[in-house]
Amino acid sequence: MRKFSILYLIFIFVFISCSKKKADDNKTSIKTRPVVLNLDSYEPISVCKCSEDGIKTLSKALKLRKEFQNIEQYKNDSGSLKTMASLNNNWSLIRDKCLMKFGSQLFTPSPCNNPDKIQRIREELDALGVRTS
């Protein structure tokens, strides 16, 4: 019975340790530089993938900018500026590549394509002093 109790405590300790690590990783994920896409390697397979990638990238940019109370604080954080530059470059590449491949289909809303949401996020970023075009 004693051995079972010790094993149970070890299991609980390991479980709690792993859970805390995941929560901490989520807090710092925005601060890390995103993988920079390039024109040759980014190949969207559908309008849905374009919309998903665009919304994800713009949402990360919005979350990063909202970490700062004002534009001055944001502009004084060089790490965030570099991260934002990478996100903006990725957004531009996604937009350009998807427009070349799918054209006007990107402007037609569907269950998986939400151009209005993309526009709302871009407008919110613009209002916060972050240009996306």
Angle between helices 115-127 and 47-66 (to 10 degrees): 20
Mean pLDDT by 10 residues, the chain (133 residues): 53 54 45 70 92 96 96 94 95 94 94 95 96 88
pLDDT value for 20: 46
pLDDT value for 17: 58
pLDDT value for 34: 74
- Tell me how far apart the alpha carbons of residues 61 and 127 are, in angstroms, rounded to a whole number: 13
pLDDT value for 6: 57
Of 70, 3, 59, 64, nearest to 33 (Cα)? 64
- Tell me how far apart the alpha carbons of residues 3 and 21 are, in angstroms, rounded to a whole number: 27
> What is the pTM for the complete model shown?
0.73
